């Protein structure tokens, strides 16, 4: 089966400054892949290269079977993109935004109207079809962006910080929309600063730092590599963390300590491993 995304030895340099360094990565069809990294790690540049918005300085990128440099229009037909910034037209109605996007993709009128109705219903905006976008809440605007990105039936959906700035209830509603799309067979690449979002949605995770991919796998593979048990020890106004292969090992170590003040054990999570690898929290 052809990979949904194949990145081979990709470099990106801006003004003699390397932003992405020798990146190689494969995303399989039907996968939800989470791309994490601190600010400046190269995530956004990677997404821009995958979506044909900028070209790699070196290396090869194939998306949905099309080369991003030689066949950019083929790539664009097969991808949907939801950027962090609100990109819908505020002065048009919900329906007009969808109609404009459908015409840009040359979707025939008969099919276009059916697909607009379908996706507005899917994101629960059918009753707002005649409302101006500027009257919608932030969560509704994001749902409209997702509906618009799906209108031309792409194979792969790129979501760049899709729930940033949204309240927890709205964020979780979007999670269910994203999970439902994947259950229908959609391949999704997601960047986010919310660890729980990755843990809930993603099959595999890639962690970037300073332009390089420094870790790749499932959360369980991460925990097996770095430690499933964690000892936390209070040190002044901060906590020190020590990983152990299992929770039993962490508990046994704690029991051996003559003074257990300010110490506790718990299972490790994605954020613990991320900080261990990068030395920084996601912010």
Q: What pLDDT sits at residue 4?
A: 96
- Sequence-distant (6+) residues with CB within 8 A of 79 are 50, 51, 63, 64, 154, 155, 156, 157, 158
Residue 57 has what DSSP assignment? S
Instruction: Summarize the confidence of residues 127-132 as an average pLDDT.
Output: 96
Q: What pLDDT sits at residue 281?
A: 52
Task: State pLDDT tens for residues 205-261.
Answer: 999 999 999 999 999 999 999 999 999 999 888 889 999 999 999 999 999 999 989
Two structure tokens written together for 283 = 């912010």
pTM to 2 decimal places? 0.90
At residue 218, φ and ψ (nearest 5 deg) are -85, 165
**Could you tell me the residue ranges of all domains in the chain?**
29-52+64-221, 228-267
Instruction: Summarize the confidence of residues 109-132 as an average pLDDT.
Output: 94
Report domain 29-52+64-221's class: alpha beta
């Amino acid at each position: 089966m052809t990979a949904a995304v194949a990145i081979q030895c990709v470099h990106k340099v801006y003004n003699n400054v390397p932003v992405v360094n020798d990146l190689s990565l494969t995303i399989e069809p039907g996968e939800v892949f989470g791309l994490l990294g601190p600010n400046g790690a190269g995530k956004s540049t990677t997404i821009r290269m995958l979506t044909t918005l900028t070209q790699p300085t070196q290396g090869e990128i194939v998306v949905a079977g099309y080369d991003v440099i030689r066949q950019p229009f083929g790539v664009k037909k097969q991808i949907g993109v939801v950027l962090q910034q609100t990109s819908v037209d505020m002065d048009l109605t919900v329906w007009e935004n969808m109609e404009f996007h459908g015409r840009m993709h040359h979707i025939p009128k008969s099919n276009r109207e059916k697909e607009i109705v379908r996706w507005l219903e899917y994101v629960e905006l059918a009753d707002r079809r005649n409302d101006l976008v500027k009257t919608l809440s932030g969560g509704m605007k994001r749902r409209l962006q997702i509906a618009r990105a799906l209108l031309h039936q792409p194979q792969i959906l790129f979501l760049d910080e899709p729930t940033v700035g949204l309240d927890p209830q709205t964020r979780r509603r979007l999670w269910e929309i994203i999970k439902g799309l994947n259950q229908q067979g959609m391949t999704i690449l997601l960047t986010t600063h919310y660890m729980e979002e990755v843990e809930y949605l993603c099959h595999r995770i890639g962690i970037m730092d300073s332009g390089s991919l420094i870790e790749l796998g499932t959360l369980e593979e991460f925990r097996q590599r770095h430690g499933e048990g964690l000892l936390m020890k209070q040190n002044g106004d901060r906590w020190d963390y020590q990983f152990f292969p299992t929770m039993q090992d962490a508990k046994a170590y704690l029991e051996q300590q003559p003074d257990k003040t300010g110490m506790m054990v718990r299972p490790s999570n994605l954020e613990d491993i991320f900080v261990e690898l990068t030395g920084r929290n996601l912010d």
